[in-house]
Homo-oligomer: A and B are copies of this chain.
Amino acid sequence: MTSKLLSRRDVEFLLYEWLDVTSLCDRPRFADHSRETFDGALDTAERIATEVFLPHRRKSDIEEPEFDGERVRIIPEVGTAFAAFAEAGLLAGPQDYEFGGMQLPLTVHNACFAYVLAANVGSAGYPLLTAANANLLLAHGSPAQIDAFARPELEGRFAGTMCLSEPQAGSSLADVATRAEPDGDSPFGPQFRLFGNKMWISAGEHEVTGNIVHLVLARMPGAPPGVKGISLFIVPRRLVGTDGGCGERNDVALAGLNHKMGYRGTVNTLLNFGEGRFKPGGRPGAVGYLVGEPHRGLSYMFHMMNEARIGVGLGAVALGYAGYLESLDYARNRPQGRPVTSKDPASAPVRIIEHADVRRMLLAQKAYVEGGLALSFYCARLVDEEHTAANEGERAEAHLLLEILTPIAKSWPSQWCLAANDLAIQVHGGYGYTRDYPVEQLYRDNRLNPIHEGTHGIQALDLLGRKVAMEGGKALQLLGTKMTLTIAAARATGDADLTAWAEALADALKRVARTTAALYAARDPERILANASLYLEAFGHVVLAWIWLAQALAAHGKAGEFYDGKRQACRYFFRWELPRTVPQFALLDCLDDTTLAMRDAWF
| Partner-B contacts on A (CB < 8 A) | 165, 168-172, 174-175, 199-200, 225-227, 258-262, 328, 332, 335-341, 343-346, 349, 353-360, 362-363, 366, 422, 425-426, 429-430, 432-436, 440, 443-444, 447-448, 450-452, 455-457, 460-461, 465, 525-526, 529-533, 561-562, 564-565, 568, 571-572, 575-576, 579-580, 582-583, 586-587, 592, 594-603
Contacts and interface: CB of A to CB of B under 8 A. Distances in A.
A355 to B, nearest CB: 8
Contacts of A328: 603
Contacts of A596: 356, 359
28 contacts: A168-B335, A168-B349, A170-B430, A171-B336, A172-B338, A174-B343, A175-B349, A200-B430, A225-B345, A258-B430, A259-B435, A259-B436, A260-B435, A261-B443, A340-B526, A341-B526, A357-B532, A360-B533, A362-B603, A426-B451, A433-B448, A562-B602, A564-B602, A565-B601, A568-B602, A575-B592, A580-B583, A582-B583
Contacts of A337: 171-172
A359 to B, nearest CB: 5
Contacts of A363: 594-595, 598, 603
B572 A594 contact: yes
A10 to B, nearest CB: 11
Q: Return the 6 tightest CB-CB contacts between A and B, nearest first.
A: A226-B345, A579-B583, A565-B602, A356-B530, A360-B595, A225-B345
Contacts of A345: 174-175, 225-227
B433 A261 contact: yes
Contacts of A335: 168
Nearest to A425: B447
B451 A429 contact: yes
A93 B356 CA distance: 43
Given A357-B532, A363-B594, A452 B434 contact: no
A532 B366 CA distance: 20
Contacts of A451: 425-426, 429-430, 432-433
Contacts of A259: 434-436
Nearest to A597: B568
Given A345-B227, A576-B594, A592-B575, A340 B525 contact: yes
Contacts of A592: 575-576
B336 A168 contact: yes
Contacts of A580: 580, 583
Contacts of A422: 447
Nearest to A165: B430
B465 A340 contact: yes
A429 B447 contact: no
A525 B341 contact: yes
Which residue, of A168, A366, A429, A594, has the highest number of chain B Cβ atoms within 10 A? A594
A595 B353 CA distance: 11
A565 to B, nearest CB: 4
A172 to B, nearest CB: 4
Which residue, of A362, A525, A600, has the highest number of chain B Cβ atoms within 10 A? A600
A175 to B, nearest CB: 6
A596 B356 CA distance: 5
Contact of A356 (B356, B357, B358, B595): B595
B340 A529 contact: yes
Given A261-B440, A594-B575, A599 B332 contact: no
B357 A530 contact: yes
A455 B426 contact: yes
A397 to B, nearest CB: 30
Contacts of A598: 359, 362-363, 568, 572
Contacts of A261: 433-435, 440, 443-444
A321 to B, nearest CB: 12
Contacts of A172: 336-338, 349
B433 A526 contact: no
A600 B353 contact: yes
A172 B582 CA distance: 38
A599 B563 CA distance: 12
Contacts of A575: 587, 592, 594
A225 B600 contact: no
Nearest to A533: B357
Contacts of A340: 461, 465, 525-526, 529
A332 B603 CA distance: 11
Nearest to A529: B340
A169 B338 CA distance: 12
Given A175-B345, A433-B447, A565-B601, 19 more contacts: A165-B430, A170-B429, A225-B346, A258-B434, A259-B435, A261-B433, A340-B461, A357-B530, A358-B457, A426-B457, A433-B451, A562-B602, A564-B602, A565-B603, A568-B597, A568-B598, A572-B594, A580-B580, A580-B583
Contact of A568 (B165, B425, B583, B594): B594
A339 B172 CA distance: 12
Contacts of A430: 165, 170, 199-200, 258, 451-452
Contacts of A362: 598, 603
Contact of A339 (B169, B526, B583): B526
A479 B271 CA distance: 59
A328 B585 CA distance: 28
A393 B174 CA distance: 67
A356 B596 CA distance: 5
B450 A426 contact: yes
A298 to B, nearest CB: 12
Contacts of A353: 600
